[in-house]
Structure formats: C-alpha cells, structure tokens
Amino acid sequence: MSEFVPGLAGVVAARSAISFINGTEGVLRYRGIRIEDLAAKSTFEEVVYLLIEGALPTRTQLAAFDAELRALRGVPEGIFALLRALPTETHPMVALQAAAAAMGGFYPHFDVSSRAGNREAALRLTACLPGIVAGFDRIRRGLEPLASKPELSHAADFLWLLNGEVPDAQETRILDLCLVLHAEHGFNASTFTGRVVASALANPYAVVSAAVGTLSGPLHGGANEEVLNMLRTIDAVADVPAFLQGRIDNKQKIMGLGHRVYKVKDPRAGVLQELAVALFEDKGSTPLYDIAYALEQEARVKLGGKGIYPNVDFYSGLVYDKLGFATDLFTPIFAVSRVSGWTAHWLEQLEDNRIYRPTQQYVGAMDAPYTDIDSRGA
C-alpha cells in the first residue's frame, strides 16, 4: 500500500501554471511574476486578467476586460431575497456560500465544455461576489442593498456597496492592494476543494460554493478574524512575553503565526505590514498594531528557529479593522479576492481533467462477524 501522508503534506496532486511558492525563501509568484511587483504596480483587475488569461494585459485588453467585469456586477434580486430569508445573526460566510451555490439557479451552466461559457461564468463570479457580501451585510443591518456604480473600480465599488459612500483614493488603493495579495496561493485547502469539485465536472457556482465553505474554517480564511480576537485579549505590549510563553507552554496555536508552506515570513505579510504602518500614520495608530508588532518580535526570538513567522492573516485584520470593516467580514473579503484564483484553477482543471479519486489506508476491523439485530442487545 502507498505511504500514508497526513494532510497530503508534500504530495503532488496536479500540475499548475498559475502560481509558484517557495516556502523556504519566502517567494510567491502569480504566473511567474513576484507578488511584491504586482502589489506595487498592478490593480486587482490586472491581476484577475493575469490569472484567467495567463499574462498581464495591454492597456486596450485591460479596458475591454474591465468593462466586461463591470457589466457582470449585477446581483439578481432573487439572491437578495434568499439573503433576506436568513437569520440576521447568520455568519456572512454562511450567507456567501449559500448565495454562491444559488447563483447556479439564475445562471445555469452545466455544460463545462463551453470555453466561452466557462470564461463568462468565471468573470461573473468575480464580479458578483462583492455585491453578495455587501448586500448581506446591509440586509442584516436593516438597510437595502445598493446598486453597483459602473464608473467605479472593483475595489471602490465594493466599498460603495458596503458603506453607501464613494471611497477616497487611499481607501480604494488599500483595499485593491489587499485583493491583489489574497487573489491566489497555490493548492491551499479551499483551492484544492474547488479543484476536486471541478474534477467531477460540477457547475462553477458549486465549485466556488464548496471553496467558500473550506475558506470559512478557522485554520484557513477564518484565521484573520481569530488574529484580531487574540490580539484583543492582550492588554498591553508589556503583557506580550507572558502571553506568548503561556501559549507555548500550553501548546496552544498562536493565530497568524506559522504556515504549512512558509518557513520564513510570508511575503504578503511584509507588504500588509507596510500598508498598516502607512495607514496608521495617516489615520492614527492603534494599540493593537503595537501589540502585534511586539508579538512578532517576541515570536521571532522564541519560535523563529522552528520556522514560525507571521503569515498573511497576521496583519490583514488590523488593516481591515482600521478601515471600519466588521470583524466577521474579514473572511468574506478574502473570498471576494480569492474567487479569482479559484476560478483560474477551475478553468485549468478542465483543460486536462481527471476526477480526483485518492485511495485510503484502511485501519478498521477485518472479517468482522455479522450479528443479527435480535442478538445485539437492548
């Protein structure tokens, strides 16, 4: 029998040309391009084009692609009716997963042999998820969902749909940068889930709904919420050493530190940290950042030798919190970005598809006798 590998760690499950990660050196590339360069020079729309089409667009290509995305932003009223039927205390990720699956009812796409139809579905999902997330947030606050403003960029329109105010250039750039950083990250749990569902030739809305469900877990996308909750339990910078040592002694997970792939600081965490510093300089600092920075420095001394450093979730929650997002929206914002990577992987999976069917190592009973129901006791 094959060797059992818990969590499939290190098992090569597919070939992909979408992103490259070197966890030892802290490298992340989309289609071969360094994430630091994309974060500094490209918009989210450019990155979506890169992931879906395979190369960065020319100005003409970007304009046409951006126009396609803007034209597909409208969320069906029936989706909002579904969201209104949910209890207001529903977690936004639950609402998003349900709505993503329901999109398949409004835009049926079961013939995934159609390349043109597949591409349109991928763009529709990327275009509509911001409206779904913002729409549910407004509904649960007793407000009506807003119509998209086609003159706004993807990031700016999302902020408008959430807050009912056209954002300024700094807020737009910050969110756009966060979307770029979270767009794609190889065979993470949610992407792998999506590819497994895709391999069965399921419709793209089922693929994304399944990926959203995986992302909702606290060991994946939900970690950014947990980081902020953890930081709020530390009263002051002076309490950081005792807090960290207590977690280490009790073998408790320290949210935002450590990664299954990176053994150095996540390159996205470095970009987000610079973003957080610039944001706080402009809008006022927060004690939570000082605590987070102190925790990173303390952890570097005590855990760096084990390859445990900040991941992308460590600073993203601080940025979102300063922008005024509700904590339970952090992971849905992650999904608004990562849907571009999920759909790129869906399209790639279909190019040379084979349904996933791993084996197992059976450890149960063998040749167990059958006992008649009357002989099994009360």
**End-to-end alpha carbon distance in the chain:** 40
CB atoms closer than 10 angstroms to residue 242: 11
In this structure, what token pair is assigned to residue 75?
């969320």
Q: Does 239 qualify as catalytic in the annotation? A: no
3-state class percentages of the chain: helix first, strand second, coil last, to nearest 5: 60, 5, 35
Contact indicator for 356, 193 with CB cutoff of 8 Å? no
Q: Catalytic one among 176, 259, 266, 345?
A: 259
3-state secondary structure 176-230: HHHHHHHCCCCCCHHHHHHHHHHHCCCCHHHHHHHHHHHHCCCCCCCHHHHHHHH
CA–CA distance, 176 with 117 (Å, rounded to integer):
27
DSSP, collapsed to helix, strand or coil, labels residue 49 as: helix
Q: Does 259 qualify as catalytic in the annotation? A: yes
Which residues, at least 6 apart from 59, have a Cβ–Cβ distance to it below 8 Å? none
At 276, the amino acid letter reads A
Provide the 8-state DSSP code for 364: S
Which residues, at least 6 apart from 76, have a Cβ–Cβ distance to it below 8 Å? 103, 106
Q: Catalytic one among 66, 137, 266, 313?
A: 313
- Tell me the CA distances in angstroms from 131 to 11, 31, 87, 155, 172, one per residue in order: 37, 28, 19, 11, 16
Active site residues: 259, 313
